Each structure stands twice: as structure tokens, then as C-alpha cells.
Amino acid sequence: KTVEEEEVVGSKKFVKTNDTRKVKIRFKDLPISNYTSKGLQNAEYTKMTEVQRCAIPHALKGRDLMISSRTGSGKTLAYLVPLVEKLYRQRWSSLDGLGGLIIVPVRELAIQAFEVLRSFAGLHDLSAGMIIGGKLVQVEKNHIASMNILVATPGRLLQHMNETPLFDYDNLQTLVLDEVDRMLDMGFAEELSQIMRNLPMGRTQTLLFSATAKKSLQKLAKNVLKTDFTYFCMNSY
């Protein structure tokens, strides 16, 4: 059973759907670069999972998304593929600074997301790094200015925003909040809103991902997203 609803709230159009019947099945059928396509193939990602089939085509069109789907459903590639493609399409270079920012609740998840990025995006000419607690702040400070993509935890990211003058995020293209439900549960709401106040949100594509669909998330989504496209993946691949 599929549902697709549109609701207009103020100037925003909220689309809710779980319809994946019409969308592509394989990564190589997507309108993506050869670098990404080859990279995914090399990493042995062939068929998209349900959440990837639903999210990626919309994200590639530049839409903001709020995606809730269960743990293990493949959310990481659902945001990394469109993030990398957006930078590729803009011919992003080292001179353009930070283009993609992924915020996750804890270091372990940052490392996991970074590994997924490495697994398929290596053919692109993009630099990527992590801003996570437990590493030397000074080491991060020295590298942060040259990074095109960063995976970060909220506290440490905010620390760099405040302390690292060379950290330039004025050009940010894509912001991802992954496991946003967990970040709210951990009490990061204030850090997240401070971070978003620093970022050029009006010009940035924003993708929110969670494992659950709670009311507090809907509120956050309505505040930060330009168009809110919610997809509730049940539990199938």
C-alpha cells in the first residue's frame, strides 16, 4: 500500500510518500557521474535499498528531505550519494572550501559514515575529514580549512566554529543531520540550532535522517527544511 500526500503550510510544501513503485532499482540507472557509478560498483553496491530508491532521486533534484527509516535500511548512502553528486556537478575544488557537512551524534557513527564515503567516492577529486571528539583539536585545526566534506559530532564542530578562524563554511551546499532523533534524545538541540545559525541555511540543501518518526522531529523539520519530504520506510529492504 502506498500513500502520497501534499500539504501546504505557509510558503512550504510538505510531501509525504512511501511510494517507490516508479523509481529506479539500481544505482547505475540514476543520473549520476561515472565516478560515483563506478565507485559504487567497485564497492559492490548494485541494487538500491528501499530508502535509497525513495530518497536519492529527490535529493539529486536538490530537495530538502526528512527521512525516517529503520536502522540497517541503508540511510548512509541515501545521503552520501546526492551530497557527493552535488559537489561533482558544481565542479567543486579544494579552493571552494567546505561543500558537504554531515553531523552525527557520536564518534563511532562518524567513523562509519566516513568509511562508507571512502568506499565509493575515492574516484572523485574531493577531500574529506572527520571532526570528532577524542582526537587532538590542533590536528583537526590544521586540516579543517582544506576539507570539502566533513563528518562531525555536534560539540566538537561547534568548538571549531568558535575557535578555528580558517574554518570556512560560507559556501556550504549540503547539510546532513544523521540520527537526528538520537541527537535530540542526547540533548544536542541547542548545539544544533547554534550550528545552523552559523551556516548559510537559506542556500544549503538540508537532509534530515532518523530511525524513528517522533513529533519533535516534525517540528524541527518544519523549522529547518525548505521543502519537507517525509518518507516512512516500514521494515523491508
Residue span binding ligand ADP (CB under 6 A) among the ranges 66-74, 99-107, 143-151, 157-165: 66-74
CA distance 64 to 62: 7
Nearer to ligand ADP, 65 or 77 (CB): 77
Asked if 188 contacts 154 with a C-beta cutoff of 8 angstroms, the reply is yes
Question: Applying CB under 5 A, does 233 fall inside the site for Mg ion?
Answer: no
Question: Applying CB under 6 A, does 75 fall inside the site for ligand ADP?
Answer: yes
| DSSP classification of residue 104 | -
Asked if 51 contacts 67 with a C-beta cutoff of 8 angstroms, the reply is yes
Question: Applying CB under 6 A, does 77 fall inside the site for ligand ADP?
Answer: yes
# chain residues binding ligand ADP, by CB under 6 A: 12
Q: Which member of 13, 31, 61, 72 binds ligand ADP (CB under 6 A)? A: 72
Q: Which member of 14, 35, 39, 45 binds ligand ADP (CB under 6 A)? A: 45
Asked if 126 contacts 77 with a C-beta cutoff of 8 angstroms, the reply is no
Q: Which of residues 199-228 bind ligand ADP (CB under 6 A)?
A: none
Q: Which member of 35, 58, 68, 74 binds ligand ADP (CB under 6 A)? A: 74
Question: Applying CB under 5 A, does 77 fall inside the site for Mg ion?
Answer: no
Residue 80, all three cell numbers: 552520501
Residue 157, all three cell numbers: 564542530
**Residue 9 buriedness (CB in 10 A; 0-12 / 13-18 / 19+):** exposed
Beta carbon of residue 197, minimum distance to ligand ADP (angstroms, whole number):
27
Q: How many CB atoms lie within 10 A of CB 234?
A: 10
Q: What Rg value do the Cα atoms of the chain yield, rounded?
A: 17
CA distance 64 to 110: 22
Question: Applying CB under 5 A, does 208 fall inside the site for Mg ion?
Answer: no
Asked if 207 contacts 54 with a C-beta cutoff of 8 angstroms, the reply is no
Question: Applying CB under 6 A, does 20 fall inside the site for ligand ADP?
Answer: no
Question: Applying CB under 6 A, does 48 fall inside the site for ligand ADP?
Answer: yes
Question: Applying CB under 5 A, does 75 fall inside the site for Mg ion?
Answer: yes
Question: Applying CB under 6 A, does 49 fall inside the site for ligand ADP?
Answer: yes
- Residues lying near ligand ADP in the complex (CB under 6 A): 45, 47-49, 52, 71-77
- Residues lying near Mg ion in the complex (CB under 5 A): 75
